[in-house]
Structure 1
Amino acid sequence: MTVIAGEKPALIWALRLSVVLLVGLWLFPTLGLLVSSFRTSDQIATSGWWRAMFPSEQNLTLRTDPPSAQVQEGDLYVIEGRLFAEGTSSEISAWGTSARDPAAYEPGISAELRRGGTLMVAADGAYRLESTEEISGKRGPRVFVTATVPPEFTLENYETVLVSGNATDNMAKAFFNTLTVTIPATIIPILVAAFAAYALAWMEFPGRALLVAAIVGLLVVPLQLALIPLLKFHNEIGIGKGYIGVWMAHTGFGLPLAIYLLRNYMVGIPRDIIENARVDGATDFMIFVRIILPLSFPALASFAIFQFLWTWNDLLVAMVFLIDATGETTVMTKQIVELLGTRGGNWEILATSAFVSIAVPLAVFFAMQKYLVRGLLAGSIK
């Protein structure tokens, strides 16, 4: 391996290992969410996502067929069937008729039921319920089993999250609400910042240096300081409870970084290109549209990535500026918070909702990541 003069091989390997470690720390939780989103609640409760491809031992509560399925064999009323679905290769190691002692019997042993009759459960889940009297009731008795269950993957979690009729579980509407907030809140600041950055980079006017200094100063102003004053202003002009208000809020909070990033990139464009265009009779608007914007695409894409990710994952601004008691404009981050409160035990629903939420930002990042470094390095070298 060729080593650059002045660099130590140990330092290079340390750098590479650090990168691999950081990638692993970022990748494993995402992979865990993806795997968990296809698993059932019982599997998530009994084993980690890294064991999703292996059989797991689970404590299940099942029921026999209802009394309507009974048949008469001589003096006996009999219900026969299987506790597991057809084609399932689960194996029972113990079973019981009471939650206090779910492993009271071994497979193949008959047990007396409290309501009369006997029940026998085999290792493969086949059972036989016998009674000398007609079995009554609407549902069959419960059976508590300890079984080795093969790995199982399902799309029911995504059906519940995306197409459920329950407003609490329905993430589809929240998904489109988030797109409604994110796309304009990404495009608007880019359009405004591009014009401002061109003016600060190539147009001479009094106070330009002070404006650049003010923009740099706004980069360090905490977002939380402006929330209440801006909300009061939005309420006074009537845009404090809808999409327009949250669009304007995201635009205002994103403009300092956008202008700073684009201005640094545009300053690095060779002056000869601008001067030659002016000699040919091009106006400032023509130069901006036909020369500056195409050459500034890496910086535009870099800011678009940051603004899209920040807006998509935002909760604070949405809760402050997108006030809605009916849930018609609820975004995905707020929807997931509500799921945590109402379905905190349903980890499969939470995992699916979280992965649906991060799928779009991941797609945007991977599609535009080649422009990220070029945009971040704008203006750092000549």
Structure 2
Amino acid sequence: MDNVVGRKSGLTWAVHISVALLVMLWLFPTVGLLVSSFRTADQISASGWWASLFPAEQTVQVRTGGADVARQEGGVWIVEGNLFVDDPAAPKGDVSVESFGVSSRDVSAFGPGETAEFGEETLTVNEDGSYRYTSVEEPGGRGQRVFVTAEVPPDFTLANYRQVLFSGNSTDSMAKAFFNTLTVTVPATIIPIVIAAFAAYALAWMDFPGRAVLIACVVGLLVVPLQLALIPLLKLHLGIGIGKGYLGVWLAHTGFGLPLAIYLLRNYMVGLPRDIIENAKVDGATDFQIFTRIILPLSFPALASFAIFQFLWTWNDLLVAKVFLIDATGETTVMTNQIVELLGTRGGNWEILATAAFVSIAVPLVVFFAMQRYLVRGLLAGSVK
């Protein structure tokens, strides 16, 4: 009775649950990266992205006003103000002080309203951030350092994206790397598709000596790791003068992507109705006319399927770009390499790293969701006769 109409088997539910878990495993890091890209560094260090909508306890370092706002009364210098207003780096909004300290060894030594005495200086910080600082000697220009532990409301900002996309600093900016990646990815996706489409049609519908051997070679090349060809191919490119520019990267990606492209497209074209091809030949159509007017329109799912794979591989590639796109000036640096540079120079700035990482995956996400309906159709082509 397991196959009663309207009743789902246990295996079906297991498949649905497994798919849901896989989607969640993929979705959580992506959402976390997106949320973190809009948060400040203090917010990221204080709480996880899942708590970004709630107030979080943070310990921040701020400074009181300096000599420019100090006044002298009875031989004592006095500075009054609000820590969250006077210091531009302090958190803004409805912030309440929970504790404070004047030494990094004990950042929570005093509660709000208490007076800290250190040497000939005193400091009183209230819950709203207002303070009174006194000193026998004239305060320095930077003011007194204060460690404040406060309940900070959620804070989202676009400053991370402004710095990553529009900063004039080549170390932080991803704008140049973004266009460099597009320059590499678009031709490296189109070129193998064009070549593979012609080759797949020939292997699928044209009779010539050695066709079976060529098909076997294409299948065999699918299992050859690209790392084996990097050094010989680089020597060849350097020998003919294309080893330090975009042309070398385009040809390298084309060569590494052609076996899978030909395999997918050939399997799809073989499954097309033979009657259409034969009728076109009876009507006097040439092979080129059949290919351009019949085969290509019908093969769009397979073309789109490979385009997704090739675009994602090329966009996320680091190894091939490192080997074939040699540039000491950084003018042709791609996004994956730029993120590696950020890890070295901005290792502590998680907000910058999160923003740069999300910028790098935004375009692949758009491409995948725009063309994903063709992915399964293209991959399953030729599997059922």
The TM-score by the shorter chain falls in which range?
over 0.9
Asked if 1:208 corresponds to 2:199, the answer is: no
Asked if 1:23 corresponds to 2:23, the answer is: yes
Looking at structure 2, the residues matched to 163 and 293 of structure 1 have their Cα atoms a distance apart, in angstroms, of 41
Compute the TM-score of the two structures, normalised by the length of structure 2.
0.94
What residue number does 1:80 align with?
Answer: 80
Looking at structure 2, the residues matched to 66 and 281 of structure 1 have their Cα atoms a distance apart, in angstroms, of 90
What residue number does 1:288 align with?
Answer: 291
Please give the root-mean-square deviation of Cα atoms over the aligned residues, in Å.
Answer: 1.9
SS at match of 1:94: strand
What residue number does 1:155 align with?
Answer: 158
Asked if 1:104 corresponds to 2:144, the answer is: no
Looking at structure 2, the residues matched to 301 and 274 of structure 1 have their Cα atoms a distance apart, in angstroms, of 22
1:145-173 per-residue CA deviation (whole Å, 9 max, x = no partner) reads: 11111111111111221122222211111
Looking at structure 2, the residues matched to 282 and 157 of structure 1 have their Cα atoms a distance apart, in angstroms, of 58
> Aligned AA for 1:25?
L
Looking at structure 2, the residues matched to 294 and 146 of structure 1 have their Cα atoms a distance apart, in angstroms, of 64
SS at match of 1:84: helix
List gaps (5 residues or longer) in structure 2: 87-91
Alignment of 1:143-292 (within 5 A): 143-292=146-295
> Aligned AA for 2:239?
E
Change (3 A) 1:311 1:4: farther
> Aligned AA for 1:216?
V
> Aligned AA for 1:127?
Y
Could you tell me how far 1:136 is from its partner in structure 2?
A: 3.8
Could you tell me how far 1:192 is from its partner in structure 2?
A: 0.4
Change (3 A) 1:76 1:3: farther
Greater shift in the superposed pair: 136-145 or 236-245:
136-145
Compute the TM-score of the two structures, normalised by the length of structure 1.
0.95
* Aligned 8 A contact 2:59 2:150 in 1: yes
Match of 2:131 among 113, 119, 127: 127
SS at match of 1:339: helix
Asked if 1:141 corresponds to 2:144, the answer is: yes
Match of 1:352 among 337, 355, 360: 355
Greater shift in the superposed pair: 69-78 or 27-36:
69-78
SS at match of 1:165: coil
Could you tell me how far 1:76 is from its partner in structure 2?
A: 4.8
> Aligned AA for 2:12?
I
List gaps (5 residues or longer) in structure 1: none
Asked if 1:14 corresponds to 2:4, the answer is: no
What residue number does 1:93 align with?
Answer: 98
Greater shift in the superposed pair: 259-268 or 163-172:
163-172
Could you tell me how far 1:118 is from its partner in structure 2?
A: 2.3
- The percentage of aligned residue pairs carrying the same residue is 73
Greater shift in the superposed pair: 122-131 or 229-238:
122-131
- How many residues are paired up? 379
1:64-123 per-residue CA deviation (whole Å, 9 max, x = no partner) reads: 122212245566543222111496211111111111121121111222344x44221101
Greater shift in the superposed pair: 305-314 or 100-109:
100-109
